[in-house]
């Protein structure tokens, strides 16, 4: 029997989210049912419900930064037990057979991974995300939350944490490397903290200096305002790696690319719906690369959680109740977030 659970859903692209109930499938042999304690608000949730990335079916429950406790396990599940502290990120399944899946890169599944929300599930239904009290997920897509990380701090790591950890690790952020983070919101502030923990020399490039004290407290060496054109002259050909977390295409991408030194790479994790007009001549200079990166694989997500526990890396969160979700969305859209809204699901 499916279970009816409380949730918050978007009724359409233009209306506020509202309280509702949804059905969670019966716990299958390989499934785990999780009582969700906290769910983070990612800018991707907003892009999705507002239809920025294309039309979706409504009503839709979003949320892919999920932390909670196992309350039921399927007959074949031996890796998790009732009471375990667990998390779920941006995907809940993949084909498991393609080259990328076999390499542990389920996020790059050749057939497309099954997203935690707004994705067609194996049973043909549309997946519904973490702004709800419970979720049923295949055990292979469930992560362990280390004891050192409280549930509410673990939630944002499941997307903002892994999305920044993965490119930082892949492009070898570490001692002797100069890393810039563009945009200090949910992803950006995690990128700063993780890159600092990896030993890199970190600079924040934010629209203004209003969050400078925070950035320096997170361990950044420098902090510059991108509204000041002088910043782009001062920092020309400086960085080995730039992580761009900006959610909008409304920025001069070539001006940022010019900040890369020889063989430097700019990785876009920000996901604006519009294209970015990269000039190839900007790439010719210094043999620069422009790249993208999408979340991370399951094994790497566990590695990231363990890394954060070991290095004391945690997000800065603002806990909210369910009735504050719509206001939180408006604040994220105004870049007024310090630095991740997390929903206490007891208030749903």
Q: Is 167 in the site for ligand NAP (CB under 6 A)?
A: no
Handedness of CA 53, 56, 59, 60 (dihedral sign): negative
Q: Is 254 in the site for ligand NAP (CB under 6 A)?
A: no
CA gap 11, 15 in Å, rounded: 6
Comparison of 136 and 161: residue with beta carbon closer to ligand NAP: 161
The region of 37-45, 130-138, 144-152, 280-288 touching ligand NAP under the rule CB under 6 A is 37-45
Q: Which residue is nearest to ligand NAP (CB)?
A: 185
CA gap 90, 283 in Å, rounded: 31
What's the token pair of residue 253?
């991408």
* Residue 98 contact among Zn ion, ligand NAP, none, beta carbon within 5 to 8 Å by kind: Zn ion
Q: Is 116 in the site for ligand NAP (CB under 6 A)?
A: no
CB proximity list for 325: less than 8 A, separation 6 or greater: 8, 17, 41, 131, 343
Q: How many CB atoms lie within 10 A of CB 319?
A: 13
Q: Is 337 in the site for ligand NAP (CB under 6 A)?
A: yes
* Residue 101 contact among ligand NAP, Zn ion, none, beta carbon within 5 to 8 Å by kind: Zn ion
Burial (0-12, 13-18, 19+ Cβ within 10 Å), 326:
middle
The helix (run of H) or strand (run of E) holding residue 292 is strand 289-292
Q: Which of 125, 237, 248, 321 binds ligand NAP (CB under 6 A)?
A: 248
Comparison of 109 and 348: residue with beta carbon closer to Zn ion: 109
Burial (0-12, 13-18, 19+ Cβ within 10 Å), 94:
buried
Residues that bind Zn ion in the complex, under the rule CB under 5 A: 42, 44, 94-95, 98, 101, 109, 159
Question: Is residue 185 within 8 Å of residue 174, measured between CB atoms?
Answer: no
From 188, 234, 179, select the one nearest 207 (Cα to Cα). 188
Q: Is 251 in the site for ligand NAP (CB under 6 A)?
A: yes
Comparison of 73 and 101: residue with beta carbon closer to Zn ion: 101
Q: Is 274 in the site for ligand NAP (CB under 6 A)?
A: no
Comparison of 68 and 183: residue with beta carbon closer to ligand NAP: 183
Site string for ligand NAP, 208-247 (x = CB under 6 A): ---x---------------------------------xxx
What's the token pair of residue 87?
């998390």
Comparison of 193 and 211: residue with beta carbon closer to ligand NAP: 211
The region of 38-46, 95-103, 256-264, 304-312 touching ligand NAP under the rule CB under 6 A is 38-46
CA gap 213, 220 in Å, rounded: 10
* Residue 315 contact among ligand NAP, Zn ion, none, beta carbon within 5 to 8 Å by kind: none
Q: How many CB atoms lie within 10 A of CB 17?
A: 23
Q: What are the residues binding ligand NAP (CB under 6 A)?
A: 42-44, 47, 159, 163, 183-188, 206-207, 211, 245-248, 250-251, 269-271, 293-295, 332, 335, 337
């Amino acid at each position: 029997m499916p279970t009816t659970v409380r949730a918050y859903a978007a009724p359409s692209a233009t209306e506020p989210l509202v309280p509702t109930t949804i059905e969670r499938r019966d716990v299958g042999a390989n499934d785990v049912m999780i009582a969700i304690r906290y769910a983070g608000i990612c800018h991707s949730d907003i892009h999705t419900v507002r239809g920025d990335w294309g039309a979706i079916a409504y009503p839709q429950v979003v949320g892919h930064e999920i932390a909670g406790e196992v309350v039921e396990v399927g007959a074949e599940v031996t890796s998790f037990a009732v009471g375990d502290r667990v998390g779920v990120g941006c995907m809940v399944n993949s084909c498991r057979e393609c080259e990328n899946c076999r390499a542990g890169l389920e996020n790059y599944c050749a057939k497309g991974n099954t997203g935690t929300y707004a994705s067609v599930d194996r049973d043909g239904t549309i997946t519904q995300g973490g702004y709800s009290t419970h979720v049923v997920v295949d055990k292979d897509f469930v992560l362990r939350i280390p004891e050192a990380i409280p549930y509410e701090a673990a939630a944002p790591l499941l997307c903002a944490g892994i999305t920044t950890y993965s490119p930082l690790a892949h492009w070898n952020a570490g001692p002797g490397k100069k890393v810039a983070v563009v945009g200090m919101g949910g992803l950006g502030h995690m990128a700063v903290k993780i890159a600092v923990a990896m030993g890199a020399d970190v600079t924040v490039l934010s629209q203004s200096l209003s969050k400078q004290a925070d950035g320096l407290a997170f361990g950044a060496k420098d902090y510059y305002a991108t509204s000041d054109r002088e910043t782009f002259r001062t920092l020309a050909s400086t960085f080995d790696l730039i992580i761009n977390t900006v959610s909008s295409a409304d920025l001069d991408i070539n001006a940022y690319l010019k900040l890369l030194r020889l063989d430097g790479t700019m990785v876009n994790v920000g996901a604006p719906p519009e294209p970015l007009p990269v000039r190839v001549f900007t790439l010719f200079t210094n043999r620069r690369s422009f790249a993208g990166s999408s979340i991370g694989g399951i094994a790497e997500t566990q590695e990231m959680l363990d890394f954060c526990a070991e290095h004391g890396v945690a997000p800065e969160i603002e806990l909210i109740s369910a009735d504050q979700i719509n206001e939180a969305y408006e604040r994220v859209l105004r870049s007024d977030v310090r630095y991740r809204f997390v929903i206490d699901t007891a208030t749903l």
